Amino acid sequence: MKHLIILGDGMADHPVKQLGGKTLLQYAHTPYMDKLARMGKTGCLSTIPKGFHPGSEVANTAILGYDLNAVYEGRGPLEAASIGYDMRPDDMAMRCNLISLQNGRILNHHGGHLQTEESDLLIKSLNEALGTECVRFITGIQYRHLLVIRGGSKRLMCAPPHDHPNEAWKPLLVKPEKGWEDIVEEGRMTARETAELINRLTLQSQELLSQHPFNKARAVQGKPLANSIWAWSGGYRPSMKTLMQLFPNIKTGAVISAVDLIRGIGRYAGLRNIIVPGATGLADTNYEGKVRAALEALKTDDFVYLHIEASDEAGHDGDLALKLRTIEDLDRCIVGPMYEAVKDEKEKVCIAVLPDHPTPVEMRIHVDEPVPFLIWYEGIEPDSVETYNEESCKKGEYGLLHLEQFMQTFMKYE
């Protein structure tokens, strides 16, 4: 049996008064997810270990069956792997957003939904002006980039920008982790020195970016300015076993995502990255191309991780109508076609559908709450759940699973 995970990033939500007290999954028209829930088994999953921030890097790594306490090193190293930057032992890599500041506050975490070609101009200019032997800016995808500090300390307290919309940015600057301020790790700066360097780079970036021709043109057009870097979630080179080592029934696997973070997790997990032209991580992503890529991968691979980012971005933007549309698009453009294509295959395909965490549209941030999931394959004995949403899945046969238990349960179906 082959295995396919369809991950709707940030898809889970809270009840919304405007929707009659329903969650978006309850309100949205999702006939295929409901069908698979009705024909399969359901439950809820806690994806965030105690003491961890509810980030996608944490949740997706846990969903894939990893013990975060053993392997977690932050987003930076995962995105370095995706970009193809081979970290040195003394590197500290951080996720580096291009963001929009306005009136002393964080307007958005994405610089106005930059295209990669646009942000590449800004990142290259920053690296030319601010790069040194120990500081390097590397272009990633869209607004998501990489800051590498050779000899930097990861013992930092950082504020993910998507968790602080409309908040004053100065109080959110990087701080040394308590207890680590002046401790020296061999070959590295102290945490205090690293935080001071990052904050200095942030202020310098604001001066440079405000004068960049790209932002001057954006100002004339009335568009948000990509006028600051924001570095967060740093770490050293991680050490992870591959999924093939964790689960012997996986011989080969693939990951399909528009997001560097997910591609990086996949690379460390031993999965091959499939790049789909037109996959944007937003509501305009190439759904059809992702389906074709997943079906092609299932011809040769035992395991496919199909990640769709659109609902998370809509949640961060607080756009109720758009998030509803992304959920319905996931059902219509991904879940439906994948089910119809594999349901009659000679070799069975076990399908799981779930989010990694909720991104409530009225809060615009990630929250640490269990998410609903379903598992279906031809012949599975269904439970009593009729629809797929946060409330109905609480009554599912799996009950509440925690962290690695999901993958352990999913891979038992052989």
Helix (H) or strand (E) holding 388: none
What pTM does this model have?
Answer: 0.81
Please indicate, yes or no, whether residues 36 and 173 belong to a single structural domain of this protein: no
pLDDT at 84: 86
CA atoms of 182 and 172, how far apart (whole Å): 20
Domain end, chosen from 186, 219, 236, is at: 236
Domain extent at residue 310: 2-71+241-411
- pLDDT at residue 79 is higher than 90: no
Domain end, chosen from 209, 236, 263, is at: 236
338-378 tens-digit pLDDT:
999 999 999 999 999 999 999 999 999 999 999 999 999 99
Which residues have C-beta within 8 Å of that of residue 91, sequence separation ≥ 6? 80, 148, 149, 150, 152, 236, 237
Please indicate, yes or no, whether residues 177 and 326 belong to a single structural domain of this protein: no
CATH number of the domain bearing residue 365: 3.40.720.10
Q: Could you tell me the two tokens for 387?
A: 């629809």
Please indicate, yes or no, whether residues 223 and 371 belong to a single structural domain of this protein: no
221-280 tens-digit pLDDT:
999 999 999 999 999 998 889 999 999 999 999 999 999 889 989 999 999 999 999 999
Please indicate, yes or no, whether residues 102 and 58 belong to a single structural domain of this protein: no
CA atoms of 208 and 170, how far apart (whole Å): 18
Q: Could you tell me the two tokens for 349?
A: 């395909």
Please indicate, yes or no, whether residues 158 and 90 belong to a single structural domain of this protein: yes
Q: Could you tell me the two tokens for 3?
A: 């295995």
Please indicate, yes or no, whether residues 186 and 200 belong to a single structural domain of this protein: yes
Q: What is the mean pLDDT of residues 306-327?
A: 97
What total number of domains does the chain contain? 2
Please indicate, yes or no, whether residues 91 and 232 belong to a single structural domain of this protein: yes
Domain end, chosen from 236, 255, 288, is at: 236
Contact 347, 1 (CB under 8 A): yes
**Residue 246: helix, strand or coil by DSSP?**
helix
Please indicate, yes or no, whether residues 200 and 92 belong to a single structural domain of this protein: yes
